[in-house]
Structures are given as structure tokens and as C-alpha cells.
Structure 1
Amino acid sequence: MFIILFTYVESVSFTSFVSTVKSNLKYNITMDGVQSTIKCNLEILHKEYQQIKTFQKMENLDDKTHNDTELSEEMKKLIQHMIGTIESMMIPQDPMYLRLLAMKTTLFYEQSKLLISLGKEMEAQEILITALESIKDVVSKSELVFLAFRIINHYAYLLSKQGEFEKSKELLEYAESTYKSSKKESAVIQFYVSDDLFSPDTVISSSTDSSNKLERLVTNNLQMLGFIYNKQELHDKFAEYHHEVLRRQLEMKDGNVTMWALRSARLASYFLSKNRFKEARHHLVAATHVLYSYEKELEALEPPDNMIEKWDELQQRFADVARCWVKYGLYLFSVSKTNIISSICGEPNQMLEKLWTSPFKTADLYKPTTSKETPIYDDNVDEKTGLPARGFGDIVDRNSQPPCDVTDSIPKALPSLLQGSQSHKTETRNIDNVEKNEGVLLIFPSLDLTEWEEQVTASFIETTVQARELFQYTHSWLKRAKVFYTLQDHPMQYINAILDLSELHRFLAFYEEDIESQYAVQKLRADALETLSTILKEVRPQCYMAVSVELLRELAEVQLEMMGLNLRRIYIAQEVVPETSDVTLHKMEALADIHSKLEHFNNNMWHNMDPIDSGSIPVSDIAGDVCNYVNS
């Protein structure tokens, strides 16, 4: 009985084992079939995606030998077929689901580009919206992050073309926040491009040459975001993002070097308009440093066919950056001069308020006066004229000094005056907002530019020595710009350079302390303008007609300045020797007396009259008077 029972149990166990083996074998056969089907579909999708890329290349050819409409229809049918294949393969919770979703979204993106090429932008936008909605919950996944940024970039561009800057800004800010969150989680963001997604292999892997693609795409999005900020007149935000784009391009060594330098110099011009001189100087120095480094690279290379074009472009960018340096110097001079005048004369608004000061006081300004009412005059009002005794347009004594020197020159006591008014100067600086006190300065941390920046100041010009140093630095860059912008090839730019030189001389004359130095600088300014005017009349008459009014205005201003300096020379000469004025007057009277006696003697000689009868003075007396004059 025991043997029979054991045999029965052994028979049941063997039967169960055989059934399990058959079941597992069937499952393995089924799984092998599924994997084989998936791999087969991936290979087909890979070939079809390569065909789409071929169609796109054919569309971009200049010499088109095909029908665009037929080609677009073929692409449209192919994309629809591929989307259907992918949807049949998508199973939620499947490991391949995110990859298939990314492949489907890629086809939506390609379809939108096709519609845009056909002029159907609204349909393209609807497809892009659908694509973004389908991946909004998994946008930070490695299969979708790069694709999501591409779609956002494309959709934001379409919106900005239509003037919908607010929607475009929201999309790009969302992309920026997603990028920053991913960066916090991992310093290196893993991502897959479209070619990786449409690989025929079942296991996805990223391409080796796609490391910077995501960073370039993010840079492009930030650049577009800065553009939108500028369109919305958020200029500080624009400057911040434009600087960030330049920083990223510099660190990635991405883009054209000369164009990078030009954009950095232009951003410096914006900082100048905001009186942010340190940041302006830093960006100009960075542009200069990059151009000099690129110049050394070109010198080390063997001359290829396009070397001449590269050198010409480099020289032009050097000239453009040089003009920005000239603008920097002129603007720093202008702001410094305004600050000095304000510290001496007060704020312009306070001076304008004096224009509206009433010359007399009344009991009620809105009550008409009667014959019995007598106006109550101010203490500083002239009773005869009813006008202020001192104010704008007053006639002051010639020996008194005006409250503010209206000429382009500084009194000799200016340095001590500036040192003695530190509190007022600080107040003026705060009003003018010369430097940005809040936040961090926008600089390029990867560049060490301290030695370069020390060559030029970013502070107010307050002394003659500082003015001469800034003049020399700016003048050197002006000469560098003149090398490229010649009168023959670039006449208008050359004329502007001469006018900038005139402005430099004008500011330098303002800071010179003695009259002779001021006169010498103004003379150089006049010579430059007169030479330019003469040459233009002979060589470039058309250019002369275009700028003749500006040249005449500059020349008139210079002549007035020089005339004012000459008058000050006379005025100072009279003050230098006041003790000799009586002696000079005595000599003039003696000479007049001698002259009258000589004329009287001459008249008597012509009429043959006896000098004694005529009552004339003997010649010996005249000679004695002359001796007395000489000895006096």
C-alpha cells in the first residue's frame, strides 16, 4: 500500500513538472516573438526616419529638381504611418513606453516643421501644443528633456513672430526652470537626441558627439528669452540674459569669435547708458582680449584660402570695438563733467526752478489788486524796474566772479574745491547712479582681466592728470579705428572719428587748469576740423554737403571758445600789474603832449613863421621833454 501511494505521488509530481516546463517554454517562445517583433519594428522605424531626413535635405537644396508639393505629401503620409506604428507598440508601464512616447513626439515636431514650410503655421502650433501636453508630466526624463526644449524653442519662436511675447516668455521661463532643476539633481544631464531614439537597437544609448547639444539648445532658449525681455522693454533683464548667453558661449567656445566680441562690446554700450562703468569696461576688455587671442591663433596657422577674409573680418571687429572704447571714454568724460558742474552750480532742476520765482510778493496771488493795495516787494527786487536785483540775466560787476563758469574750462582752485565738497559729491553720485550697488556685477569669471582693466579707469574724472590719462587711452583707440575706417573706403565713419576727436579735445580743455593749455588744446581741435573741412571740399564734396552743418557748428563753437580764452587772457593781464597802471597812464599822457608839440612845430615850419612871434615852443624845450619822458 505504501509503495502504491509513493508511486502515485511521484507520478503527480512528474506530471506537474512537465506542465510547468511546457508553460515556461511557451512563455519564452512568446517573449522571444515579442522582442523579435519590437526589434523588427524599430529597424523599420529607423529606416523610415532616415528617409524623412533625406526628404528634408532635398527640400533645402537650392537647385530643386523635384516637386515640393509631392515631396511634402510623401513626408506627411510617411509620418502618419510611423505614428500609427508607434501607437500600436505603446503599452503603459512598459520599459519602452517613454522611448516610444519620445519617438511619437519627435514625429509631431517633424510634422509641425513640414506644415510651417507649407505656410500653415496655425496648424503647426496646434500640433506643438498637443506634443507639449502629452509630455508635460515627464518633461525632465532623459528620453524627453532635449526634445521638450526643442519644441519649446520652436513654439516660442512662432509666438514671438505673432507678437505674443507673454506666452513665449512663459514657455521659455518654464524651460529655464526645468533646466535649473535638472542641473541641481545632476551636474551632467543625461539626454537622448532623435537619432538615439530611432536607433534600431532595443537598448537605447546616447551619441558620443552630442555632449554640447543640450547646452547649445539651452543657450539658444536663453538668447530668445533675452530678446523677448527687450521687446517688453525689460532692458535690465535683457542685459542680464544677454550676458549669460555670452558667458555660456565663451565657456563652451561656441560660435564665431569676432561676432562674440562685437556683441560683448555692444552690451558694454548698454551698460554705459546706465552709468555702469565697471561692467562696461569689463565687457570691452573681454572683447579686446578675445580678439587679441584670436589674432595670435591666426598668426600661428598656415595661410589657407580664406585667411585674407578672416584677417579682414578681424580688423573690422577691432575697429568696431575701438569705436566702442571711444564711446566709453567720451561718455565717462561727459558724466564726470556733468557731476563737476552740478557740484559747483547745483542740480539742473534747482537752476530751472529759479526761472519760475516770482519777482515780488503779494498778499494773495489769485486776488486782483486795487489802487489802495500796494505790492509787497521782495528784498532782492529793484523798486524802479520791478525785476529781481540778482538773477538770470543780471548785469554784474566786471570784477566779480560769476557763480558758475559757463565756459568749457575749470578754475585753478577746482581740485581743492572738489576735495572740500565730499558730502555734496557723494550725494550727486548717488543721484546719478554711477555704479550699480545692488546685486553682483555681470562679469566673465573664466577670464582674468584685472591687468587689462587697470589700464583705464571706471571712476569719475576729477583732476587734470586723470583727464589726460583717459584722453591718451581713448585717443589710442580712436587711432586704431582710423586704420580701418579710412576716408577713401569709409568716409562717414572717418568723419565721425574726426568729430569724436573734436569732442575729446573739448573735454580735455575743460580739465586743463591754465589758459595757455586750454588754448593749445582748442587750437588742435580747430586745426583738425578745418583740415577735415578743406579735404572734404576737395576730395569728397558729397560727404561735405552731408556734414557741412555739423562741421560749421563745431568750428563756430571752437572759435567762440578760443575768443573767450583770449578775453580771459586780457582780463588776467589787467589784474596781474595793477600797480603799474598809473605809470602807464602818465607815459600815455606824456606821449600825447609830445605828439601835439611836434605837430605844432611842423605846422609853423610849413608856414615860414617866426617861432618867437608865433609863440611856438623852441625845439630845445621839446627835446628836454623827450628826455624827461625817457628818464621817467
Structure 2
Amino acid sequence: MIVTSEMTAKEILNDFKENYGKVRKLLDEDSKNDPENEPYLSKYKARDILTNMCDSLKNIDSESNVDSIKLHAMLGVVLLNIGIIDMETEELTASERVLTEAVDLLSPNGSKPEIVTTLINIYNNIGILWSNRDEPGKAKGFLLQAKDLYESFKCTLQMPLPIEYVIGNMGEAGAGDFMFLEKAYTLTLYYLAQVFGSLKENLKSAIYCHVTLRRQLQYSDYEPIDWALNSATLSQFFAEQNGFFQSRHHLAAASTILDSYEQKLNSVQGDDEGFLAKLETFKHRSADVARCWAKYCLLLMTASKNRLMSDAETVTDAITDMSNLKIEDDENICGGDAKNLVFPDIDVTKYESKIIDKFLLTYQDAREVFLCCQNWLNEAKKYYKLDSLASDYIELIQDSSQSFSYLAFFEEDDERRAKMHKRRIDMLEELIKQVNPTYYLQYCRQLWFELGEVYSDILNIKLDKLNRCKEKPTPHALKKINLLCEKSIENYDHFLNSVKDKNGKMPLKLESDVIRPVISAYAFMGRNSMKRIAVDKSAQLTNLQKSYDSYQAVVDICTNDKDAAIMMREEFSLCQEMVNILPIKIKRLEIELAAK
């Protein structure tokens, strides 16, 4: 039988449709059930089919009556899938080769409706490939090509045509086909966010993250839990840049999306495994968003404290929306204006109205933020328990302690400030009784060090009050001062002993993460030993000797460890000075005691 050109074209399309259906089933369904000892079984089967399809398409002659753009579109999809499989099976060189071939094939007709979505996906995957090779600069170049292609195609006002349209001779493309292009472009922006992060362009990375989230909302193309968590996580970056306007907005959006998701969960309540798993995930991630809200409060309080403690000239700078930052927006992703980093498609006023986004100036300002912080921490503690998720629970208590510390900064009344610090002591001491240092040594060290600091804070409040008082201090007041000194030193001692070796000796070279706290602990112990109030010269001598020993420990560490000396230059200098001064005082006291 003589095969006509028209029949050949039809057979080619049908053959492609049948084989591509097999490939999609292998990749989308069968691969999920591959055995552990052959994790890529279905992918390899799919690649074999795709390779045969590729060879067949390349061998079609010009008389087949298949439109060349259609033919390129079909071959491009095949090459894209082969490239993805090669990447997923860790054959990166092969993946690069086949994806590059696809670019060379499709780029001359990149703006054609049948080609554009596939080519953007190819650029995206080459971007991923170079990211996997730790070459973010090269990845960025391909991803920006994808971005430029999308933008130029949008200007043509054409409707993109998916491969299903190309091979199926369906009617006119619709909104669903338009979404294939939009999803591909959203992925481009997402990958650019990762690449800019790798390039240490953190602000630009954050902007791309925001635009990705905004587009997902715009096209209702997101998983609520993942979206909320990503938005809440992004809020932390903005808060660290003093972008409290943007940070609060992203947190409010996260909570709004979670509320909507909870309503859907409640409408389909059940007791099957699927529903219970979703409910557990919701509770878990809701607790995480609550923690992000608490971090927002803490960052706002600490930024406000630092601002008030800085030079008077800079205190006038009250910008909390990043409008003072210069945004290099070469790709025109947010118009160069940080105020554009919002989600216009959802109403978030319910949560934004609960807390301010401006620097705190008064105790009342701080108290309102403090109360919000405590509420969010309590929400998080409903999920994170000491007996099941100890590390997270410990961090929540530490955050609670810090919130009291920042509130105390804004409190002018000494007695009330001391009570706030006492609350910190109560919660930290109760916690450390329940935490096993064998398993949670790092956290115990943090708790001991913080307790040493808190006792020192109360000690300084009491001493200032004592120095201002014209009357002779009562024995109770003196005993309180000494007790605070002892408790502070005791906790610093616990911390230092945890760093020492089995023989009770400090290592000759400290790990970098403990240099600062170890030297600070010895310096605090030196100061607090001298703050003890002694009733006789013998006790004074003992206190001076303990103070000298602590300062000498710092000098020994910094003399033996250049890194420590450089990192703690100021403390090292002060301790050297004290080591030179104290022996004179000690000698004088020894002479006075001997003369008795």
C-alpha cells in the first residue's frame, strides 16, 4: 500500500501521542512505586522510550507533511524530558548536552506559541543543572534568558500552546494552557531567588521570593501550608533589615492563609489517616508561624533598643519599611520600590492591626509588643513540648526570657525591672532542672551563661540603688548583694566547667564558637568577685584573689590563642590591666593582715 504524506503525518502524531502517554505514566505514577534497590527503574524505562522517539523524530523527512514548528515542538519536549531524567539520575554531563541541543533547536523560534513554554522550562532546568554544579553565575544567565523570553512573548498577546494541543489538534487554546506558561515562569522566579541567595545578593533573593509567592496567590497555584511557611520565613529576613512593614505583612498573609486552610479542614473533618496527617501538619506549621511572629516581636524590640542606645543623630532615622535601601532592580521585578512587596490579592488587616510596625519609644509601646510576643510563644508551646520536642521547647523558653529582658530595658522603675529579670531566672532555672546536659549540652551552656548574665543584671540594679541610698545598708541588703554575686559566678562556673576537659583544664585552643562566651564569662566573674561586699579584710583578700584568677584566665587564653586575642581584643586589654593592678592591692591587704 502506498502511504500518502497526509497519512504519514497523522501516524507520526498518533505514535508520538501514544508513546508520550506511556512516558508520562512512567514518570508521574510508576516511578513512585519503584523498588528501593532500583530507584530509577521507571525513569530509565521512560528514557528508553524518549530516546526512540527522539531518533524517530529526527529521521522524519521533509515530505512527511508535518509542520516544522510542530516537529520542533515535539522534539523539544522529548529532549527536555530526557535532560530532566538525566539530571535526576545524576548524569549531569549527559543532561547538559541534551538540554543544550534543545536550546539550539528551539531558540530560533522561541517566541512561537508552540515553543515558548517548553523553551522556558529548558532554560529553567539548565539553571538548576548549573546550580547543582555550584555555578550560580551561569545558572543566573540561563534563568534570566527564561525571564526575558516570557516577557517578550507576553508582549505579543498570543496564547501559548501546550504539547497536548500540538499533537492533538485540539480547538483553540484556553486559560488552562495559559497556566502552563505562567507556572513555568513562576518557577523561573523561584529559581532566580535561590541563585541570588547563592550569590549573596540577599535582598534581591528576598524580592524574587516575594514575587514568587505573590504569583502563586494570583494564580491560586500553591499548597497553603507551604505557602504560609515560606511567607513567614521570608518575613524574618525583612525584619532583620528593619523592614518591619514588609515583615508584618508577610506574617499576616501567612496567618490569613492558614486560617482559610483551617476552615477547609474543619469542613471535611474525619478520622482517616489522610485527614489526621493533614491536621498534624497544620498544627506543626501553625506553631512554626507563631514562632516567626514571636521572632518579629523580638527583632522589633531589640532594634528599638539598639536605636535608642545609639548616637542621638541616628535616633531620628525612624524608617521601618526599607524605603531607605537602594534596590538594584535591573530586571524590573518590583519597580525598585520595597513598598511594592505586598500581596494585593488578600486582606491581611485582621493580623496587621494587632501589632505595630514602627520603632518602640515608650514602655507602653514595648509592653504591647511584649504581650503579643508572649501570646505567640504560648501558641507555639501548644505544639512544642519538652517531653517530645525538647530543642524547640528550650528555644521558646529562651525567647520568652529575651522578651522580658527587652521589656526591662524600657522600664524605668528599678524594682519592676528587677522583678522582670527575676521572672527570667525562674523560667530558666526551672527549665535547666529538666534538661539533661548529656543530650542537650549546647542548650545547657546557653542557659548557664544567660543565668549568669541575668543575676549580674539584678546585681547591678541593686548596687546602683545601694550607691544612691544615703542611709547605711541593712544586713539583708548586703546579704542579697553577695548572694547575687555568688549565683552569677556559680552559673558562669557551670558554663566554663562544661568547656573544660576531663581533667578540669581549659583547652589550649578554644573552638571558635565558645571563645567569646568563655572570655566573657571569666571577665564577668572577675568583676562580680570584686563586687562582693566583705565585712573583714580576710574576706576582701579572698574576693580579690578570685577576681585576679578570673582575669588571669583570660590573659592566659589570649596569650596562647591569637584568634581569641584578636576576637576579644578589648576584653584582653582590660584583663591585662587588671592583672597588673590587682597584685598591688592583694599585697597591700596581705601586709595589713600580717600586721594585726
TM-score (structure 1 length as normaliser): 0.66
Aligned counterpart, 1:197: 166
Q: CA deviation at 1:546?
A: 4.1
Q: Which amino acid aligns with 2:368?
A: E
Deviation of the 1:165 alpha carbon: 2.3
What does residue 316 of structure 1 align with?
284
Contact residue 245 and residue 321 of structure 2 kept, 8 A: no
Correspondence for 1:586: none
- Letter aligned with residue 521 of structure 1: M
Residue-by-residue CA offset, 1:389-411 (whole Å, 9 max, x unaligned): xxxxxxxxxxxxxxxxxxxxxxx
CA distance in 1, matches of 2:123, 2:440: 52
What SS class does the counterpart of residue 142 from structure 1 fall into? Answer: coil
Calculate the aligned-residue CA RMSD, in Å: 3.1
SS in 2 for 1:459: coil
The CA distance in 2 between the partners of 1:544 and 1:120, in whole Å, is: 41
Distance 1:553 1:440, change over 3 A: closer
Q: Match for 1:328 among 277, 281, 296? A: 296
Specify the alignment match of 1:608 in structure 2. none
- Partner of 1:235 in structure 2? 202
For 1:478, the equivalent position in structure 2 comes to: 377
The one of 72, 78, 102 equivalent to 1:101 is: 72
1:105-254 map, 5 Å: 105-113=76-84, 115-116=86-87, 120-186=91-157, 189-199=158-168, 201=169, 205-206=172-173, 209-254=176-221
Amino acid at match of 1:196: Y
- Alignment match, 1:369: none
After superposition, the Cα gap between the structure-2 partners of 1:68 and 1:292, relative to the gap in structure 1 and judged at 3 Å, is: closer
Question: Cα deviation per residue 1:119-156 (whole Å; 9 max; x = unaligned)?
Answer: 64323322322221222222111111111112112222
Residues 99-118 of structure 1 deviation map (CA, whole Å, 9 limit, x = unaligned): 22212322333443455567
Residue among 482, 494, 514 paired with 2:393: 494
Matched with 2:352 is 453
What is the CA deviation profile of residues 22-45 of structure 1, one whole-angstrom value per residue up to 9, with x for unaligned ones? xxxxxxxx9x95434433443344
**Deviation readout 1:318-344 (Å, 9 max, x if unpaired):** 111111112111111111111111146
- Equivalent in the alignment of 1:396: none
Change (3 A) 1:451 1:192: same
- Please say if 1:85 is aligned against 2:54: no
- Which of these residues, 349, 355, 363, is aligned with residue 464 of structure 1? 363
Q: Check the 8 A contact 2:193/2:205 in 1, yes or no.
A: yes
Deviations 1:165-215 (A, max 9, x none): 2222111111112212222342xx51222222222x4x7654775442221
Unaligned runs of 5+ in 1: 1-29, 345-422, 577-632
Q: Distance in 2 between matches of 1:341 and 1:71?
A: 64
Hey, which bits of structure 1, 4+ residues long, moved more than 6 A?
64-71
Q: How many residues align?
A: 455
Match of residue 62 from structure 1: 34
Q: Which has the higher contact order (CA 8 A, sep 6+)?
A: 1
Q: What is the match of residue 420 of structure 1?
A: none
Provide Cα deviations, 1:406-463, integer angstroms capped at 9, x if missing partner.
xxxxxxxxxxxxxxxxx6522x557x99654652421111122234212211111111
Aligned counterparts, 1:433-582, within 5 A: 436=324, 439-441=337-339, 442-536=341-435, 540=436, 542-543=438-439, 545-574=441-470
Q: Secondary structure at the match of 1:484?
A: coil
Q: Residues 468 and 175 of structure 1: is their aligned pair in 2 closer, same or farther, counting only changes over 3 Å?
A: same
C-alpha spacing 1:139/1:424, structure 2 compared with 1 (3 Å): closer
- Specify the SS of the correspondent of 1:140: coil
- C-alpha separation in 2, matches of 1:69 and 1:491: 43
Amino acid at match of 1:334: T
| Inter-partner Cα distance in structure 2 for 1:278 and 1:515 | 33
Structure 1 97/204 Cα, relative in aligned 2: closer, same or farther at 3 Å?
farther
Separation in 2, partners of 1:473, 1:565? 27
CA shift for structure 1 position 51: 4.5
- Tell me if the contact between 1:278 and 1:435 (Cα under 8 Å) persists in the aligned partners: no
> How many angstroms does 1:70 deviate by?
7.9
User: C-alpha separation between the residues in 2 aligned to 1:535 and 1:572?
Assistant: 40
Q: What is the DSSP-based 3-state SS (H/G/I as helix, E as strand, rest coil) of the residue aligned with 1:446?
A: coil
Q: Residues 128 and 139 of structure 2 are in contact (CA less than 8 Å); yes or no, is this contact kept in structure 1? A: yes
SS in 2 for 1:239: helix
Q: 2:254 aligns with which of 275, 281, 287?
A: 287
Q: Deviations over 1:447-495 (max 9, x none)?
A: 2223421221111111111011111111111111111111111112111
* Counterpart AA for 1:321: V
Query: Secondary structure in 2 aligned to 1:212?
Result: helix
* Paired residue secondary structure (1:302): coil
Aligned counterparts of 2:263 and 2:22: Cα–Cα separation in 1: 45
Query: How far did 1:47 drift?
Result: 3.2
- Residues 304 and 87 of structure 1: CA distance in aligned 2, closer, same or farther (over 3 Å): farther
Distance 2:420 2:121 in 1: 59
| Greater gyration radius | 1
Q: Normalising by structure 2, report the TM-score.
A: 0.69
Note the C-alpha offset of 1:249.
1.2
Would the aligned equivalents of 1:90 and 1:100 in 2 still touch at CA under 8 Å?
no
CA contact (8 A) 1:492 1:543 kept: no
User: Quick check: 2:321–2:338 contact (8 Å CA) kept in 1?
Assistant: no
Alpha carbons of 1:313 and 1:35: their partners in 2 closer, same or farther (altered >3 Å)?
A: same
Contact 1:285 1:449 survives alignment (8 Å): yes
Supply the distance in 1 between the matched residues of 2:89 and 2:245 (Cα, whole angstroms): 49
- The amino acid of 1:76's aligned partner reads T
Whether the 8 Å contact between 1:522 and 1:558 is mirrored in structure 2 is yes
My pick for the range that moved more, 278-287 or 50-59, is 50-59
Moved more, 237-246 or 255-264: 255-264
User: Whole-Å Cα distance in 2 between the matches of residues 437 and 120 of structure 1?
Assistant: 43
Change (3 A) 1:300 1:157: same
* Of 225, 238, 259, the match for 2:226: 259
